[in-house]
Amino acid sequence: MREATAAESPDFEVVDSTLMKRVFYAFAALALLSVAISVGGKWLGRSIAMAGYTDDTTVRQVVMGNNLISVPANFIRFDQARRDGIASRLDLYLRYPEMDGYSAAARDDFNHTRAAKKIVFLSFEPRMMSRDMSGRFAPIYS
């Protein structure tokens, strides 16, 4: 009779509850990590995909010495220079012969995925000499 009851009721082995808690916490941590990566990817994805470029065409006015340069933001090469105000140097890049800045249509040219190199780099700095002869006389003849 004892054998009959043993055959009818299966023997279950109880798993240690601390082991199950650790497994549960590990899966919960992985789930939280995947949510954080997903949210972070959506939040930072555009800036990572743009790789320092911008398609913003807002005209920026940069002052160098006595000169005012008005240029669209997508022409300006470096992110920290894409602001209005005084600058000691301005670096630009643009497509040749189209003479336009970065855009979604021009992405391949700026990323150099094509064989033809169509990007022109320009640098602007304040003048070292004045335009008139009075400013040139002393450096040349002294």
CB 53 within 8 A of CB 82: no
In a domain, 134, yes or no: no
Q: Where in the sequence is the domain holding 31, given as residue range(s)? A: 1-50
Q: How far is CA 57 from CA 60, 68, 85, 100, 102, in A?
A: 9, 18, 17, 10, 9
Q: Using the predicted structure, report yes or no on whether residue 1 has a pLDDT greater than 70.
A: no
Q: Using the predicted structure, report yes or no on whether residue 133 has a pLDDT greater than 80.
A: no
In terms of domains, do 66 and 115 share one? yes
Task: Indicate the number of domains in the chain.
Answer: 2
CB 92 within 8 A of CB 76: yes
pLDDT score of 126: 81
pLDDT score of 116: 78
pLDDT score of 135: 65
**Cβ-Cβ contacts under 8 Å for 97 (sequence gap 6 or more):** 118
In a domain, 80, yes or no: yes
In a domain, 135, yes or no: no
Is-above-0.75 flag for pTM? no
pLDDT score of 54: 79
In a domain, 27, yes or no: yes
In a domain, 139, yes or no: no
pLDDT score of 129: 64
3-41 pLDDT per residue, tens: 555 556 677 776 668 888 899 999 999 999 999 998 888
92-125 pLDDT per residue, tens: 888 888 888 888 777 777 777 777 788 888 888 8
Q: Using the predicted structure, report yes or no on whether residue 51 has a pLDDT greater than 70.
A: no
In a domain, 141, yes or no: no
In terms of domains, do 76 and 38 share one? no
In terms of domains, do 95 and 67 share one? yes
In a domain, 133, yes or no: no
Q: Using the predicted structure, report yes or no on whether residue 136 has a pLDDT greater than 70.
A: no
More confident residue, 64 or 32: 32
Q: Using the predicted structure, report yes or no on whether residue 89 has a pLDDT greater than 60.
A: yes
In terms of domains, do 75 and 32 share one? no
In a domain, 22, yes or no: yes
Burial tier of 90 (Cβ tally within 10 Å: 0-12, 13-18, 19+): buried
Cross-strand pairs, 67: 64
